Amino acid sequence: MKIRSVEFSGTVMDAGSPLPGDLPQVAFSGRSNVGKSSLINTLLGRTRSKVAHVSSTPGKTQGLNFYRVNDRFFLVDLPGFGFAKVPDHVREAWKPLVEGYLTRHDGPSGVVHLVDCRRDPTADDQRMIGYLSQLELPMLLVITKIDKLTRGKRREVVNRLTEALELDQDQVIAFSSKTGEGRAELLEALSALLTSRDTTASGMVKGDA
């Protein structure tokens, strides 16, 4: 997949609100300091003119942020969890917002969940992956900040996280927003997911995104 165009399409603050359009969606989730905004900017090729705001304060994303990509699909940035320094009432509202969105009939075709290569999976990570399994939503695990590890350590950490979260190896991609490692693999996985969705929905495979 080649990224030709990216446009911010709006923020949804209520799970029942209308979405910005009827394009297929892929949601991105993870704890507040996992590097999600940096990954989105690198993935979409917007490292100079950023589309996702990178903040030193975790929890900046407080709604469902929709980015229209190639006029083909929406990349949806979900609120982070964990260390978010936001008012309790806001944080408590995220759970029904995210769960309500994930269970919509017109919700995401799949979810990309992020974990930091230097951290063990949290209870929140376990719950999210378990929830996605219950919903039978296609899920991909992206291990972020992989450049922080030596080459010799990377395979060990990828295997450990894959086993800890009970995933298959083909569901896991190591990624670095700093070096771009893993970008091509993630774009290819997104293209395959969207093509699979198109095939299921229409009975025919559309062209590459």
Assigned domain for 1 exists:
no
Whether 209 maps to a domain, the answer reads no
Burial category of 108 from C-beta neighbours within 10 Å (exposed 0-12, middle 13-18, buried 19 and up): buried
- For residue 183, is it within any domain? yes
Q: Any idea which of 62-71, 73-82, 90-99 has the lowest mean pLDDT? A: 90-99
The parent domain of residue 107 ranges over: 6-200
Q: Which residues of 121-149 are buried (b: 16+ CB within 10 A; e: fewer)?
A: beeebeebbebbeeeebbbbbbbbbbbeb
Kindly state whether residue 206 falls inside one of the protein's structural domains: no
Position 205 in a domain: no
The pTM for the full model equals 0.86
What digits encode the pLDDT tens for the residues 107-137? 999 999 999 999 999 999 999 999 999 999 9
Note whether residue 207 is domain-resident: no
> pLDDT tens, 58-72?
445 578 999 999 999
Q: Is 96 within the bounds of a domain?
A: yes
- What is the pLDDT, as a whole number, of residue 32? 81
Q: Which of 134, 121, 139, 164 is nearest to 78 (CA)?
A: 139
Q: Is the pLDDT of residue 91 over 80?
A: no
For residues 8-19, give the mean pLDDT. Answer: 93
Question: Which secondary-structure segment (H or E) carries 191?
Answer: helix 183-202
> What is the domain-level CATH number for residue 41?
3.40.50.300
Predicted local distance difference test score (pLDDT) of residue 205 = 38
pLDDT at 168: 94
Q: Which amino acid is at 105?
A: H
CB 75 within 8 A of CB 94: no
In a domain, 120, yes or no: yes
End-to-end CA distance of the chain: 5
Res 93 pLDDT > 90: no
Total number of domains constituting the chain: 1
